[in-house]
Amino acid sequence: MKLSFRWYGETDPVQLCQIRQIPGMKGIVTALYDVPVGEVWPLDAIRALQKPIEEAGLTISVIESVPVHEDIKMGLPSRDRYIENYQQTLRNLAAANVPVVCYNFMPLFDWVRTTLSYELPDGSNTLAYDDAEIAQLDLLSGEGKLPAWNVSYTKDELHRLYKIFRDMSEETLWENLTYFLQAIMPVADEVGIKMAIHPDDPPWSVLQLPRIVTNRANLDRLLAIHDSPNHGLCLCTGSLGCNPANDIVEMARHFAAQGRVNFVHMRNVKVVGERSFYESGHLSETGSVDMYQVMQALRQSGFDGPFRPDHGRMIWEETGNPGYGLYDRALGAAYLNGLLEAVDKQGGKAGV
C-alpha cells in the first residue's frame, strides 16, 4: 500500500518538503487547478506539475480530480465534446505515467458541510454537517450558502443548474453516468489508467438533488457498467461511513476482494444524530468508523494501492484551508502507518 498526501500545488501552505518528512510517505495526490472544467489538460502542464514533486523525492500517485463537466451530468448534447476532452486528458496523464485518476459524479457540488469550524471539546476545529440546517436553506432565494459550494458559478448559473438537477430523477442521472463511463473506460483500459470514483459526500440527497454513489447496492450497479479492474472505486471511509446503514468494513472487504478498490481515503467521522456528523480525528475511538477493521479488511482482501489520510482537524492554532492543514493529517498518516504495521504483523496481509 502506498501512503500518499493531498497537496494543492505551489500555492498550498503545506510544503512538499514537510510532506516528505512524514514517515512512510511516498506519493502525492494533486491536480491542475487552473484548467477550466471540461478542457483538455495539456501534457506540458502535467509534467510541470510533476517536476517539483519529483524533485522533492515523491511521485504523483493519484490525480484528484479530473472534474466531470456539468453538461455531462445533465446529459446535454454538448457532453460529447467534453467527453472527448476527458478522453484526451486521460491519454495525456497516461503519457506522464500517472497511475490513478479520482473523480466524482455529484451534481452541482461535491462534498457538502454546514460548518467548516465546528469546535470540539479539546479546542480543535473540524468540518461538520447537519441535515436540519440544510433543510432551512433556500438556495434559490440567495439568502444562504454552504461552505463547500463551487464559488465559480454566478448566481444565475447556480440557479439554472440547480433547477435542472432538482428536477432530474436518479434513473436519469444513472443513464448519464452510464453514458460517460461507456465512453471513457475503453480509453482508460487502452492507456492503463485506473479510474476511482469517489462516493457522494454525504451519501444521500442534499437540497433535493439526486445522488446515486451512496451504498453497496449502488456501487455494485456502478461497477457492473464496465467489467475491468481499471473501473474501480475511491473507497472513502468518511463519506460512506457517515451513514450508519453502510457497513464500511464489509464494503471494504467486498470491493477489495473483487480488485475494484483503486484508491482509499482513510478518515473518521462521528455520527451525532440523524444525518448529522462531524469529522473526528483519525483514531477509531474518536469516531464511528473502526479504522483498524477497515485496514484489516483491505489488507486481507489484497488491496495494495494508494491511500491517504483525508480531512483533518485544524489543531495547534494552524490556519489555512479547513480540513487540509498539515498537523492533523500528518498525525493521521502516522496512525495509519501504525495500523498497517499491526495488521501485517498479526497476519492480516493477503497470503500471510
Q: Which residues are catalytic?
A: 198, 236, 265, 310-311, 324
DSSP track, 118-143 = EEPTTS-EEEEEEHHHHHT--GGGTS
| Dist. CA 67–CA 29, nearest whole Å | 14
In 3D space, the residue among 169, 170, 153 whose CA is nearest the CA of residue 108 turns out to be 153
Q: Cell 492507456 appears where?
A: 191
Give CA angle at 293 (130, 344), nearest 5°.
Answer: 140
What DSSP designation does 3 have?
E
275 in Cβ contact with 200 (< 8 Å): no
| Dist. CA 105–CA 324, nearest whole Å | 22
Name the helix (H) or strand (E) containing 199. Answer: none
* Paired strand residues for 232: 196
